[in-house]
Homo-oligomer: A and B are copies of this chain.
Amino acid sequence: MRELTIGEAARQAGVGVETIRFYERRGLIDRPLKPHGSGFRIYPAEQIKRIKFIRQAQQIGFSLKEIHELLALRADPKADCSMVREQAVAKLEEVRRKIEQLRQIDSALEALIAVCPGCGALQACSILDTLVEPSRGPVPRIEAEGPLPTASPQRTRQRNGRFGGNNRGTINKRSGPP
């Protein structure tokens, strides 16, 4: 089975038909218009892995735009090779940052699991504490350190009086582009 209809391709890649058409519109995959007769898209089986790659890349935090860039990266002598290389290096750094962050969460979860099972008299310990406090030693011992930043559904407030006041001139800049 070398060629697939859109429906089969979707099933094999684990996505919806519409999703494939959507990716096509975004230029993430292309479509070999009716190579013999007419009418329907048919995909070579290897497109499936492209689609699967897109999904996986999304799950680890890449946007479709970034995935497009990733897929466009290719050692092609006809292109400006140094630019490709630069982009690849930049992406690699990004990937490593992500891995590092995931590793931190990984150990935080491990620590949490290590502390939890006995279900003894432990203080509340969120992933944040494990993450942010440097924690010397293999498994961080958590002792009471006062109340942690907990998100509880508390809310009590009201307004009453009112009179003039105004502020125009959006001040909302933060690090990084919009």
Contact = CB atoms under 8 A, between A and B. Distances in A.
A3 interface: no
A28 to B, nearest CB: 6
Nearest to A76: B124
Contact of A99 (B11, B71, B103): B103
A27 B127 contact: no
Contact of A92 (B60, B95, B110): B110
Interface string A6-25: 00001100111110000000
Interface of A: 10-11, 14-18, 27-30, 33, 44, 46-47, 49-50, 53, 56-61, 70-77, 81-82, 84-85, 88-89, 91-92, 95-96, 98-99, 101-103, 105-106, 109-110, 112-113, 115-117, 119-122, 124-128, 131-132, 142, 148-157, 172, 174-176
A161 B172 CA distance: 55
24 contacts: A14-B175, A27-B151, A28-B151, A29-B151, A30-B150, A30-B154, A49-B131, A50-B128, A53-B131, A60-B98, A71-B127, A71-B151, A74-B112, A74-B124, A74-B125, A74-B148, A75-B115, A76-B122, A76-B125, A77-B121, A84-B112, A92-B106, A92-B113, A95-B109
A29 B149 contact: yes
A46 B149 contact: yes
Q: Which of A101, A103, A131 has the most CB of B within 10 A?
A: A101
A70 B149 contact: no
Of A77, A89, A157, the most chain B CB neighbours within 10 A belong to A77
Contact of A116 (B60, B84, B115): B84
Contacts of A56: 101
Contacts of A28: 151
